[in-house]
Amino acid sequence: MPFTIAIDGPAASGKGTIARALASEFGFAHLDTGLLYRAVGAKGGDPVATAQGLEPEDLLRDDLRSAEAGQAASRVASIPEVRAALLAFQRKFARTEPGAVLDGRDIGTVICPEAEVKLYVVANYETRAARRAAELGADPAEMLAQIRERDARDAVRDVAPMKQADDAVLIDTSHLSIEEAVAKAVATVRTRLAR
């Protein structure tokens, strides 16, 4: 039976790094679900039609990690019809054999509420802004403003707001190294796999 790991949290919290490390550690498939929304936003046009026609190669665009694509993703992710169009794709991926790791903002609460492991990865605003600024070569103050704006939008949207699932394990990466954060996540998964 496939084993699903759902990882949620805000931008630049470290959830993607942890997700990739877990996929590698356990030989699972990985999907950064944010790329789906980034691809829809970056392609432009009617967001619903774009989401309905999204192809795997659309996730390979080299502009999907830009700050602009992130803002566009947050805007289109608030459209219920866009979310509905991408739901089946994500749920099917989640049941990939022998397992899958999905990271995003509503994986444990909406996409995979039955996931065997749920993690909620957070970090304080300053840490996240510094990480994103270093990643993009941008101004930390500008990144801080964008992250605050995006968090506010993602937390209050009517459909699938970003929040911690009741049974998710919280990992605060504000003062952890990558290795420490990954070790906490690996330990959690190993405990659940042993059951």
* 12 marked among binding-site residues: yes
| pTM reported for the whole predicted model | 0.86
* 15 marked among binding-site residues: yes
Mean pLDDT over residues 173-180, rounded?
97
Q: What is the pLDDT at residue 76?
A: 92
Mean pLDDT over residues 16-33, rounded?
96
* 41 marked among binding-site residues: no
Mean pLDDT over residues 140-159, rounded?
88
Q: What is the pLDDT at residue 78?
A: 86
For the chain, the average pLDDT equals 93
Q: What is the pLDDT at residue 85?
A: 93
* 9 marked among binding-site residues: yes
Band (55; pLDDT cuts 50, 70, 90): confident
Q: What is the 3-state secondary structure (H, E, C) of the chain?
A: CCEEEEEECCCCCCHHHHHHHHHHHHCCEEEECHHHHHHHHHHCCCHHHHHHCCCHHHHHCCCCCCHHHHHHHHHHCCCHHHHHHHHHHHHHHHCCCCEEEEEECCHHHHHCCCCCEEEEEECCHHHHHHHHHHHHCCCHHHHHHHHHHHHHHHHHCCCCCCCCCCCCEEEECCCCCHHHHHHHHHHHHHHHHCC
* 137 marked among binding-site residues: no
Band (89; pLDDT cuts 50, 70, 90): confident
Mean pLDDT over residues 67-78, rounded?
87
What domains can you pick out in the chain, each with its CATH number? 3-190 (3.40.50.300)
